[in-house]
Structure 1
């Protein structure tokens, strides 16, 4: 049976004391083997620093957590997890990463673009430690940092095709958690996909916060309010790319009997959202778990991934969930759009058109 222990109760190697790492919200998972895992504990110790919302957000962080769990179960690696806090300072992110390094974790995986500056700084200070950052890439990051990125605009394009095809009002919505370059990729693809079906369709757009306020990824109340506003304007399909804030959006949309589109994980299958599954048209799944597992496996095998590793539609890095079977009647449109993207015939914008 798998057990989770606060690091305050675990003996750690390295120069950092237990109390310091526990103060950063970290917890360690003991190493048991399961089918496919080698016998005995691996010497590889993987540290994961979550974005706000953490494990249990039913979305982005949970997808990363599934990859970590798979690596633990199948590869036998030791793991620990560190949680972020809403409204924290840049120094807090740096301290979290330094704590993992000092406790002997290598590689260290940072979940989310908000870690970019912290990862660059801590990686430069620790050239013998490998780092991965999800959803961000920089020309200035050191060689011991690997970027795990996704073609969110491609999956979102398919979500737009689905939304426009299902909308009876010819009026749909997009809710972004934080107005950032990353989330604009979701918006751009969604709008382009919708307009490929109906050039005259109306697309409402709402962002919950702007940097440096990243609470838009962890405020279901704001997501619910934004969705209610779009519903009041006539939207009957709403796509939210907003982390756990999107949970509130889904609730609002379902209460009105309209269609919601989830993000990152197949949200119709998430425990906290399953009661709304009859109104979740699909989810734009970002297979962060695949990227996390592939990165850890490559490191354990002695062939670490380097530079920027992008997971696009062709590589099944993004996809549309089929739970509920609500796409069956429009599947030919989805398939045609998929073929056009993977063949290179259709290029998807990464910035929204005005």
Structure 2
């Protein structure tokens, strides 16, 4: 999942070049030698992406953003450069990463995750001619050259809660959050509300792996596995993790428990290469279509009509959804369709703060 809502983008030309990006863990994927690369050269659009903790390959949040970038590279012919984050890094490291992308001429630059909010605001103010996008964060103090790409995670999580409450045999379910933050509490709030809509007597065991400023809870499969095992030991047989790559550990723990089910997040985790071996234990995933937001942002920039302000992707706009890989929630389709209709029509208002 990985957290609820964020993205950032930047553009500007400079003279440091790719060497400065390498120092920040960036990976150049310039395709000017290809036919689509030629289009990029003609349009001059160079897109930089700064990943959140876990980076490309987390099978979750960052990978969803990466899919949008890959699609833009393939279909729009843009030149891209990717910069990886480090666990335990300082705020200055995030600023340096963004500055390096700007100086190397990447525009726009997309920041993946709310942890970039302060860094994006500072770098954007210093570079008013550069366009930035930040995923999963919106601030009243951010400058006008920053676009927020946000999601209604609580709505997709509500549907995950409906599925969990319908599937559980023990009448006990669990929720694991990577970092106790406003964003992840939206996942928790929606999930609990969805469970309660089916059966308010079902308890939802809740575990957060870390609290800010410790964000390692998004990149520690060992902690995720331990937390899931603790909930399984208390009788939970369906566990939803909104914890980035830490959720991979939770899925592993659930797969070792007969009759237990995991609910993935951000990407369709039953279809991810590193997790496909657990696909028969993944009930569904609350898919957060970060790839759609990233691609839409880049295409708008290429078309000369950039997105501005806050662009929210909700259930009605297909910004969030449930995966159906494996067919394990097919029997609840009517119930899930009814819940979806109630949300998109406005009949059901899903809370963004956990109730009770």
TM over 0.5: yes
What corresponds to 1:155 in structure 2? 156
What corresponds to 2:6 in structure 1? none
CA distance in 1, matches of 2:34, 2:196: 47
- Per-residue CA deviation, residues 77-124 of structure 1 (Å, 9 max, x unaligned), is 000000000000000000000000000011010000000000000000
Query: How far off its partner does 1:20 sit?
Result: 2.5
SS of the equivalent of 2:223 reads: helix
What corresponds to 1:31 in structure 2? 31
Q: Which structure 1 segments of 5+ residues have no match? A: 1-12
Distance 1:52 1:178, change over 3 A: same
What corresponds to 1:176 in structure 2? 177
Distance 1:35 1:103, change over 3 A: closer
Answer whether contact 1:37 1:74 (CA < 8 A) is retained: no
1:83-232 matches, within 5 Å, as: 83-232=84-233
Distance 1:164 1:292, change over 3 A: same
CA distance in 2, matches of 1:198, 1:103: 54
1:268-287 matches, within 5 Å, as: 268-287=270-289
What corresponds to 2:336 in structure 1? 334
CA distance in 1, matches of 2:25, 2:106: 15
When normalised by structure 1's length, the TM-score is: 0.94
1:77 and 2:73 correspond: no
Distance 1:195 1:33, change over 3 A: farther
Answer whether contact 2:180 2:212 (CA < 8 A) is retained: yes
Answer whether contact 2:39 2:78 (CA < 8 A) is retained: no
Answer whether contact 1:33 1:73 (CA < 8 A) is retained: no
CA distance in 1, matches of 2:32, 2:265: 31
CA distance in 1, matches of 2:269, 2:333: 20
Q: Which has the higher contact order (CA 8 A, sep 6+)?
A: 2
What corresponds to 1:264 in structure 2? 266
Q: Which structure 2 segments of 5+ residues have no match? A: 1-12
When normalised by structure 2's length, the TM-score is: 0.94
CA distance in 2, matches of 1:32, 1:266: 32
SS of the equivalent of 1:283 reads: strand
Answer whether contact 2:32 2:38 (CA < 8 A) is retained: no
Query: How far off its partner does 1:339 sit?
Result: 0.2
SS of the equivalent of 2:262 reads: strand
How many residues are matched?
343
CA distance in 1, matches of 2:222, 2:352: 28
SS of the equivalent of 2:275 reads: helix
Answer whether contact 1:38 1:75 (CA < 8 A) is retained: no
What corresponds to 2:9 in structure 1? none
Distance 1:32 1:168, change over 3 A: farther
Query: How far off its partner does 1:36 sit?
Result: 8.7
1:336-351 matches, within 5 Å, as: 336-351=338-353
Query: How far off its partner does 1:30 sit?
Result: 2.5
CA distance in 1, matches of 2:76, 2:327: 34
What corresponds to 1:50 in structure 2? 51
Answer whether contact 1:227 1:238 (CA < 8 A) is retained: yes
- Per-residue CA deviation, residues 36-65 of structure 1 (Å, 9 max, x unaligned), is 998563410000000000000000000000
